[in-house]
Structure 1
């Protein structure tokens, strides 16, 4: 099934500023159709204890979701969020599971828990992400925003593919939605020609540190890798897409941004951001409302949107090839090659 986003390459070169203004200020939020009923269904939201993840949880529960798993870094914060959700929706089953996105072992342990503890899974929304205020490496040896926003997110996505397939109700594809960002369209990606590519993010002598640009680049990497992943995805088994919620008030994404940048982002979001419940509705639109037509697509403003322009350019192909090979090699320990052979 051809990706509709891949067919929109002719639109990818549109004015970024004009697109941003249209998206952030001129797009009318769409309400979820009133006939959506998630009774009996099971959903996972990563990073669901606050911000847009929490609001997405609220929205799913308002649609009569029966069982919700909040996958969180802090169990205390997760339990506090679960208690608030439970108070509003007392008949729903709400569980809090640990997931540390800077740890490959935590990601694998989480997937083992899904395999053993969940007889059914309908919806997975990979929402966890971060903008770093300073350069920091995690235990994996990688810079943290690249680790969380790109590497860990796509490792988790690949590991969830067979689980989403096997635990979906018979005759119905699973749903896997990965939270992306329109900032992927803005990334300068200054180290795109460095080889090897991924390690160049881990050394400030090779790629200078800029926390905002690093976030943009991490989301662009997601677009590039996702396009290479498409041949391994079958919409009859799992519908997989990317979604952009827009700049939203009360988002926890910039929680580590400090100094003038942090102040600017707080004021800017307060003045221009979407309501968090509207941002959360974009998640539900991509993960529930849209069907197979959204498979392999980048969903933005409740519509199917082109990927970052580099995807469509001749010079983008070798970069995508290098990124794919380096990323799959990084994931070798988790058996991703075998998983992708099965899913293809």
Structure 2
């Protein structure tokens, strides 16, 4: 089985070429006519708007039986669910609260899934955050995009893994896909040499409006590099999917500056951005079309893609190990190391 870490390192001499090919030349891989999710249960985070909402719709369109909308605002989630129920009245659609700024909320969500769900087949960890200025999460002390895009997403993944293994259909693995980004291929990650690493990523003076987002997504690739040594594809298939640059997702809602800047950003989205339907199809491809061969893969343009070159180097492997250890230390309160070790049993 060939995951992304077994591919030749990605070579990106000129990132705009990658962006152009990914946005305009890649061919979508839609589910086949025989794709049918009847009887299956799926969880989608950040699913009241944008790509999460569209991914949920596409799952329902494949006759998904039970959908969990995992959202921060239950009120907004219920509004989204009511729209979905009108179109797909046969499906059971529940709205569960999860606040990715709160470790207590994440733990409560995972416990609820374990107690209340008899079956879980698909998890799409779509929820994310892009900030254009430094913000700290008071409850954890971490920089906000680092918190949501990496730490909270990975904690939820770790907590759900044993649940997914226990509640998968006999003889068939559960699927988890994590929202990733082609921008990781262009990450500078200038603070990667810091030990410990996480405090450097939290420091206000180190915040970079462009690179901090990229680094958060890169860290998830680093974590997956090690995780596949513990998680069998026979139990849970875990991959990362890049939806590319998608318009209409409120990505730039925090963008400060003149109306001209915001207008230009919006026009760029209209010209170059994928539709939410096309972007979300990358998630659906990852959990419906792709099988065990995608375990440990970074999926870009609907196919397995190598990780950024750094991860294959001696320096990158040392940083990857540091990320692994600091992540498990961060989540010692939740028994993260034990939960991951249990996946080998």
The correspondence of residues 1-344 of structure 1 with structure 2, limited to 5 A, is 1-3=1-3, 5-13=4-12, 15-138=14-137, 139-205=139-205, 207=206, 209-259=207-257, 262-344=262-344
SS class of match (1:30):
coil
333-342 or 28-37: bigger deviation = 28-37
SS class of match (2:58):
helix
Cα pair distance change 1:149/1:35, threshold 3 Å: same
- 2: CA distance, partners of 1:114 / 1:151: 20
Per-residue CA deviation, residues 251-308 of structure 1 (Å, 9 max, x unaligned), is 2333323325654432221111111111111101001111111011011111111112
Q: Scaled by the length of structure 1, what TM-score is found?
A: 0.95
Asked if the contact 1:46/1:71 (under 8 Å) is kept, the reply is yes
Pairwise CA distance, 1:194: 1.5
Pairwise CA distance, 1:156: 0.7
Pairwise CA distance, 1:13: 4.4
Pairwise CA distance, 1:195: 1.7
Asked if the contact 2:165/2:174 (under 8 Å) is kept, the reply is yes
- 2: CA distance, partners of 1:166 / 1:21: 42
248-257 or 124-133: bigger deviation = 248-257
- 2: CA distance, partners of 1:264 / 1:297: 34
Per-residue CA deviation, residues 3-53 of structure 1 (Å, 9 max, x unaligned), is 2x1222244445422222111121232322111001111000000000000
Asked if the contact 2:101/2:140 (under 8 Å) is kept, the reply is yes
Unpaired runs of 5+ in structure 1?
Answer: none
- 1: CA distance, partners of 2:264 / 2:223: 31
SS class of match (2:304):
strand
Asked if the contact 2:45/2:126 (under 8 Å) is kept, the reply is yes
Pairwise CA distance, 1:238: 0.5
Cα pair distance change 1:7/1:262, threshold 3 Å: farther
Pairwise CA distance, 1:144: 0.6
CA root-mean-square deviation: 1.4
- 2: CA distance, partners of 1:37 / 1:80: 26
Pairwise CA distance, 1:336: 0.7
SS class of match (2:118):
coil
Asked if the contact 2:2/2:293 (under 8 Å) is kept, the reply is no
Asked if the contact 1:131/1:255 (under 8 Å) is kept, the reply is no
- 2: CA distance, partners of 1:255 / 1:303: 30
- 2: CA distance, partners of 1:200 / 1:11: 26
Pairwise CA distance, 1:133: 2.5
Pairwise CA distance, 1:85: 0.6
Per-residue CA deviation, residues 87-133 of structure 1 (Å, 9 max, x unaligned), is 11111100000000111110000001101111111100000001012
- 1: CA distance, partners of 2:289 / 2:228: 21
Tell me the matched-pair count: 341
Pairwise CA distance, 1:170: 1.1
- 1: CA distance, partners of 2:13 / 2:176: 28
